[in-house]
Amino acid sequence: MKKNNSCAVRAIGVFSAAALMLTACGGSEPDGAEAWVLTGDGWPKVEEGFDRWNEEAEEGQEFSVESFENDAYKERIRTVVGSGDAPTLIMSWTGGALLEYVEQDRVLDLTDHVGDLEERIHESVWNAGVVDGSVYAVPLNELKPVALYYNQAVLDEAGVDVPTTWSEVEEVVEAFEEIDARPFALAGASVWPALMWVQYLTDRHGGEEVFQRVMEGEEGAWDQESIRFALEELKQLADSGAFGEDFNAVNANQNEDTRLFADGEAAMMLQGSWVYPNFARDFPEFAESGDLGFTEFPAVEGGAGDPSNIVGNPANFWSVSADASEAEQEAALSFLSEELYNDEYIDSLLEQGTLPPVKGIEDRIADAENSEFLEFNNTLVSEANHFQLSWDQAVAPDDVQALLDNLASLLQGDATPDEFIEAMNAL
């Protein structure tokens, strides 16, 4: 079963005892391992995993769990990590925040402490937690790629097919004016959904290396042809009415973009996989109509990017605090090695209609509810050459608000692509 009462066996079998940042059988008692999670869809399954663990955990390896709303968590976690008061398990989206933690020596190198997880997880997801060849974070929940959703009834009414290339995207915009529908739903008031367009266009045009230069802090990295191309194309779409005239008043937090799409007021929507369960919950008639479709982002003709590349959030990730006690670290590493993506946890994710980033579970996916969508996502991720993290998670934490503010200015017509680039390079 989960635990072995032999301290020596556990230390050797789970931790590769020579790695020695811990004292698996030392005399110190744990101060109390702790994990912070988020509220909202999907997170109750993560908490259930801790409940299962605590029921069978050896004395001193139990976890206390505290939940936070998204924004409150982001505000607090950097402060406690920087002060050395972080929870034992630190949740992040990787990207800029993880780089900051690694540079400050606030998280452990997990390379020798994760059992067979690396072999079981899709490579494009696993790599998000790797920094300079070492593992500092491991995925903890479901895959969250971004896909193009389409309402087949609206497409049929306009007499157009789902666009598969960027030139086809530009061609179909005018077709929807005649039926009084917007081609794409976009929640401009929330800003971050527009990043998905910029990311995909940048990647399709220039490849993943373009944004990598930004992440690595290369001077002037925002001033690249592919980023300018993406910004110009997004602005052209906005100016042409592709998102509707009121898109800057549409709020994703209120699911207003999803409503426009489900109600047939928009033909398509670029959004994350996290919105899919909302259709059955909030728009059951549409979800059951057979008109809900999904596909990959269109290819950019002549672009240097691999069309298999995807963007979104590979998952949320756990890191282990370097400031935790040795006993707390031992509990955390046991949890990551033994509980994470075991059969019970995989089944619980599939039952809620979400997809764990685990290889070789095609048969279980086929038996799950929403299997068609899960199979689509599984194919997207398993065949992806690269899975790029959402830019508002990938950039340095201090640059996130500037990124969103400058993009908002572009969407509102208050800044040009060149002005966006100049502002970002000035940070």
Asked if 374 contacts 365 with a C-beta cutoff of 8 angstroms, the reply is yes
pLDDT in tens, 282-294: 999 999 999 999 9
Question: What pLDDT is attached to residue 174?
Answer: 87
Q: How far is CA 327 from CA 58, 99, 107, 225, 341, in A?
A: 12, 25, 15, 50, 23
Which contacts of 406-412 are long-range, i.e. CB under 8 A and separated by 24 or more positions?
407/191, 407/194, 407/195, 407/198, 408/188, 408/191, 410/231, 410/234, 410/235, 411/188, 411/191, 411/194, 411/234, 411/235, 411/238, 411/247, 411/248, 412/248
* 351 or 147, which is more confident: 147
pLDDT in tens, 180-219: 999 999 999 999 999 999 999 999 999 999 999 998 889 9
Per-residue pLDDT band for 369 (boundaries 50, 70, 90) equals confident
Which of 312, 322, 316 shows the shortest CA–CA distance to 94?
316
Question: What pLDDT is attached to residue 186?
Answer: 98
68 pLDDT more than 90: yes
Question: What pLDDT is attached to residue 278?
Answer: 86
Question: What pLDDT is attached to residue 11?
Answer: 31
With DSSP H G I counted as helix, E B as strand and the rest as coil, what are the percentages for the chain, rounded to 5? 50, 15, 35
Give the pLDDT mean for 144-160.
97
pLDDT in tens, 90-99: 999 999 999 9
Asked if 190 contacts 251 with a C-beta cutoff of 8 angstroms, the reply is yes
Which of 208, 158, 204, 207 shows the shortest CA–CA distance to 184?
158
pLDDT in tens, 32-63: 899 999 997 789 999 999 999 999 998 889 99
Which of 240, 242, 253, 210 shows the shortest CA–CA distance to 228?
210
Per-residue pLDDT band for 342 (boundaries 50, 70, 90) equals very high
Question: What pLDDT is attached to residue 362?
Answer: 95
30 pLDDT more than 50: no
What radius of gyration, in Å, describes the C-alpha atoms of the chain? 22
SS (H, E, C) 312-354: EECCCEEEEECCCCHHHHHHHHHHHHHCCCCHHHHHHHHHCCC
272 pLDDT more than 90: yes
Question: What pLDDT is attached to residue 31?
Answer: 56
Question: What pLDDT is attached to residue 21?
Answer: 37
Q: How far is CA 400 from CA 22, 242, 248, 370, 391, in A?
A: 35, 26, 19, 34, 8
Which of 288, 312, 310 shows the shortest CA–CA distance to 144?
312
Q: What are phi and psi of 34, to 5 degrees?
A: -140, 145
* Lowest model confidence (mean pLDDT) among 8-22, 122-136, 306-320, 387-401: 8-22
Give Cα 279 distance to the centre of its chain: 20
pLDDT in tens, 228-245: 999 999 999 999 999 999
Give the pLDDT mean for 308-327.
96
70 pLDDT more than 90: no
Distance CA 254, CA 251 (A): 6
Q: Encoding tokens for residue 241?
A: 């009415």
Distance CA 260, CA 262 (A): 6
Q: Encoding tokens for residue 344?
A: 């019970």
Per-residue pLDDT band for 261 (boundaries 50, 70, 90) equals very high
